Amino acid sequence: MAAGVLFPKPHDQVLLALAGFGAAGILAGSFLNRAPNRLANGVATALWHAPPLEAGAAMAGLAALAALAFHPKDKPRSAMTFGAAMLILWGCLSGAGRLASLFALSDPSAARYSLGAAFWILMATALLALLDAAQRANLGLLARAGLIAALGAGFALTANSGAFADLSLAKEFASHRDIFFIELRRHIVLVASAVFFALAISAPLTALVLRRPSARGLVFSGLGILQTIPSIALFGLLMAPLTALSQQFPLLRAWGINGAGAAPAIIALTLYSLLPLTRGFFTGVSEVAADVKDAAAGMGFSARQTFLLVELPLAWPALVSGLRVVTIQAIGLAAVAALIGAGGLGAFVFQGIGQYALDLVLVGAIPIILQALAASFGFQMLLAARRGS
Amino acid sequence: MRPDAAAALSAAGRFARRPGLWLFLLLVAAIFLMPSAGILFHALFPDDRHLIYSRATFLELTLAHCQLVALSSLAAAAAGIGLGVFATRESGREFAPVVRAMAAIGQTFPPVAVLALAIPALGYGAPPALAALALYAALPVLEGSITGLDGVPASARDAARGIGFSPFELLWRIELPLAAPFILAGLRTAVIINIGTATIASSAGALSLGSPILEGLSAANPAYVVEGGIIAALLAICVDRGFDWLSELLKQK
């Protein structure tokens, strides 16, 4: 019992672990790296060199997380965890922005300030604390969407006011602003067309597999083999035959189909999407119980009516989860397509890697991750909305 | 024919009918015979002068690739299974929801993006690629471990406790074997993704089968792309078949 008095038992070990993780991050890592130019290595600056208001807010938020771990009641703890996490997020973002602006006053204009490990660890700590609080409070999808929208709006407002303008990430973004939106659109077009073509192909494929059980093994193992081939290898292997085809047929060339660029990318992305989609459709439709179909037939439904009014609605969840998997996968693979000249956000990633411009890598990578998360969340909402109605 | 000879023949027949075996032989042939396929590439791509990738042998590339994948997958397996066991113990129960959510959300991160993020953090070369691959691959293993361990029926646990198993024996002899199919499925996903991502890791300076592909792309030499692409694709297919075989073995036990 004595030990219990000296060191009370935490009610939320997760928060305590997170606070420890954040504190270790502050002590070990650099909050902001200050470099004389875009290519040089930076000098690490710790969090406590940031303006005292922001640094204080971040550290207070972290201390609050540790203290909240010992709060006995779930509900108020979740609410206060939310506040503490917001304090950390604001302290980090605003602190990094203002510290960079302070440095910029005395440094030459070529100087760059990039975000360091401590910054990212603190952000991760705050977001995980938010996630934990949302899980414990049993927050519904709609409430989560509201929370995300509020966070996004807050970030956009702060960014718009120029608070981050001196960070090298923002500078890199600003100098690529025009191309950024072009590449973003290209990325979305790549993903959307691949998903569209995959839908158009996997629907008849599913019908075939449902009618002819003997074709099942062949179709699924064939698509499975396609799925395992490394993306860049498949892109590359498609280039040679497409080049040959476009040299043979001028019409294809006139449509802009040739070995490099969007055509092999969309074909490869479509091929990768076939297995998850077809499998999703197949399990969805084939799991509709036989007696349900019998009942529909008994009510005088035609085969077509049964399909449209009974099977399709019942197969909906499996269908949507197939679409979710495929969309997330395509968003990631489309990034690789930049290597064969298809453009998209991957262009920034690989350009940045090639030029050792690491903030340019982030200009590509962060929106790719956000897109994947948004797609995942959107499909979850779609599933939940259906279930609710 | 003598019965043992007939048995040997039919065993050989079964052996020869395994597609995995033929694919593996094809992979080995591709690795060793690629340098002598110059005539073929000359016929396919008439205007290029240097048609066989020669910075490293294909064996070296394949071994470097496999090393990258094997090391990162081992680390991922250790971390994923370890964390999965922790989150399903009494003392770690509290972490289970957040760990599960982390595994689910983490897997929506595209592997290329994780690789890209590792470069600013850790620099160029093989180590950051290794770390990124391991980090990403731990997630499906973790998810498989939690699903598998959570699915162990309470009756099996009670029976083991009843005959006096210690918590460690319970884990080692009952829970892990029962969860093995799920863990293996997670590991399979992880390894296949890693083979693909290791190909891209050559853009960050790690030697792999992606090296000829990327050099071919940047130098507009399609022969290099095809050479690397064929071996990388065969390697992935063979490893996938290998996992098929492993999970069948597991089922037979």
Query: In this predicted model, what pLDDT tens digit does every residue of A91-138 receive, in sequence order?
Result: 999 999 999 999 999 888 888 898 988 999 999 999 999 988 888 888
Check whether residue A199 and residue A224 sit in a common domain. Answer: yes
- C-alpha span between A224 and B19 (Å, rounded): 14
What's the pLDDT band for B81 if we cut at 50, 70, 90? very high
The minimum CA-CA distance between B141 and chain A, rounded to whole Å, is 17
Q: Does A336 touch chain B (CB under 8 A)?
A: yes
CB pairs under 8 A between A and B: 151
| Residue in the structure block whose two tokens are 């000359």 | B42
Check whether residue A252 and residue A188 sit in a common domain. Answer: yes
- The DSSP line for A169-225 is HHHHHHHTHHHHHHHHHHHHHHHHHHHHHHHHHHHHHHHHHHH-HHHHHHHHHHHHH
What's the pLDDT band for A3 if we cut at 50, 70, 90? very low
Strand-strand pairing, A112-115 and A32-35: antiparallel
**CB < 8 Å to A340, chain B:** 217
Sign of CA dihedral B155, B158, B160, B162: negative
- C-alpha span between B150 and B165 (Å, rounded): 19
Domain count, chain A: 2
What's the pLDDT band for B149 if we cut at 50, 70, 90? very high
What average pLDDT does range A64-83 have in this prediction?
Answer: 90
Check whether residue A217 and residue A149 sit in a common domain. Answer: no
* B-contacting residues in A 345-364 (Cβ below 8 Å): 346, 349-350, 352-354, 356, 358-359, 361-362, 364
B222 to A259: CB separation less than 8 angstroms, yes or no: yes
Q: Strand A112-115: give its sheet, edge to edge.
A: A43-45, A32-35, A112-115
Check whether residue A267 and residue A326 sit in a common domain. Answer: yes
- C-alpha span between B56 and B108 (Å, rounded): 35
Q: Does A42 touch chain B (CB under 8 A)?
A: no
Looking at chain A, the whole-number percentage of residues with pLDDT higher than 90 is 47
A42 pLDDT above the threshold of 90: no
Check whether residue A197 and residue A340 sit in a common domain. Answer: yes
- C-alpha span between A180 and A185 (Å, rounded): 9
Q: How far, CA to CA in Å, does A384 sit from each of A148, A241, A312, A321?
A: 17, 44, 17, 11
What's the pLDDT band for A73 if we cut at 50, 70, 90? confident
Q: Left (φ > 0), alpha (ψ -120 to 50) or beta: where does B58 sit?
A: alpha
Structural domains of chain B, with CATH: 56-208 (1.10.3720.10)
Q: Which of A146, A168, A190 is the last residue of a domain?
A: A168
**CB < 8 Å to B44, chain A:** 240
B117 to A365: CB separation less than 8 angstroms, yes or no: yes
* pLDDT value of residue A271: 94
Q: In this structure, are residues A331 and A230 in contact, taking their beta carbons and an 8 Å threshold? A: no
Check whether residue A259 and residue A196 sit in a common domain. Answer: yes
A349 to B105: CB separation less than 8 angstroms, yes or no: no
The minimum CA-CA distance between B227 and chain A, rounded to whole Å, is 9
Check whether residue A215 and residue A75 sit in a common domain. Answer: no
Nearest to B232 among A233, A259, A376 (CB): A233
* pLDDT value of residue A309: 83
* pLDDT value of residue A2: 45
What average pLDDT does range B163-167 have in this prediction?
Answer: 90
**CB < 8 Å to B200, chain A:** 230-232, 336, 339
Q: Which of A145, A168, A191 is the last residue of a domain?
A: A168
Nearest to A135 among B98, B228, B236 (CB): B98
Give the residue from chain A lying closest to B239, CA to CA.
Answer: A228
A13 to B94: CB separation less than 8 angstroms, yes or no: yes
DSSP A45: E
The minimum CA-CA distance between B116 and chain A, rounded to whole Å, is 7
- C-alpha span between A328 and B112 (Å, rounded): 12
Nearest to A332 among B112, B203, B216 (CB): B112
What's the pLDDT band for A1 if we cut at 50, 70, 90? very low
* pLDDT value of residue A84: 95
> Angle at which helices B222-252 and B176-200 pack, to 10 degrees?
180
A296 pLDDT above the threshold of 60: yes
Structure tokens at A120: 């990212």
ipTM: 0.85
Residue A311 sits in a domain whose CATH number is 1.10.3720.10
B175 pLDDT above the threshold of 60: yes
The minimum CA-CA distance between B232 and chain A, rounded to whole Å, is 7
What's the pLDDT band for A257 if we cut at 50, 70, 90? low
**CB < 8 Å to B110, chain A:** 328, 331-333, 335, 368-369, 372
Q: Does A56 touch chain B (CB under 8 A)?
A: no
Which of A138, A232, A242, A247 has the highest number of chain B CBs within 10 A, making it the mutation to test binding with B? A232
Nearest to B95 among A13, A372, A373 (CB): A13
Looking at chain A, the whole-number percentage of residues with pLDDT higher than 70 is 95
Q: Which residues contact B102 (CB under 8 A, 6 or more apart)?
A: A128, A131, B139
Q: Cα B214 from chain centroid?
A: 21
What average pLDDT does range B167-194 have in this prediction?
Answer: 93
Q: Which residues contact B60 (CB under 8 A, 6 or more apart)?
A: B207
Which of B225, B234, B239 has the highest number of chain A CBs within 10 A, making it the mutation to test binding with A? B225
Check whether residue A97 and residue A182 sit in a common domain. Answer: no
Q: Which of A136, A168, A200 is the last residue of a domain?
A: A168
Check whether residue A157 and residue A184 sit in a common domain. Answer: no
Strand-strand pairing, A43-45 and A112-115: unpaired
Structure tokens at A271: 């091929």
A362 to B120: CB separation less than 8 angstroms, yes or no: yes
Q: Does A373 touch chain B (CB under 8 A)?
A: yes
Strand-strand pairing, A43-45 and A32-35: antiparallel
Which letter, b or e, does each residue of A372-389 get, where b requires 16 or more Cβ atoms within 10 Å of its Cβ? Answer: bbbbbbebbeebeeeeee
Check whether residue A136 and residue A195 sit in a common domain. Answer: no
DSSP B90: T
Domain of residue A25: give its range.
2-168
Check whether residue A208 and residue A111 sit in a common domain. Answer: no
Check whether residue A236 and residue A290 sit in a common domain. Answer: yes
Nearest to A135 among B97, B113, B204 (CB): B97
Nearest to A236 among B44, B113, B213 (CB): B213
Which letter, b or e, does each residue of A139-174 get, where b requires 16 or more Cβ atoms within 10 Å of its Cβ? Answer: beeeebeeeeeeeeeeeeeeeeeebbebbbbbbbbe
**CB < 8 Å to A17, chain B:** 95
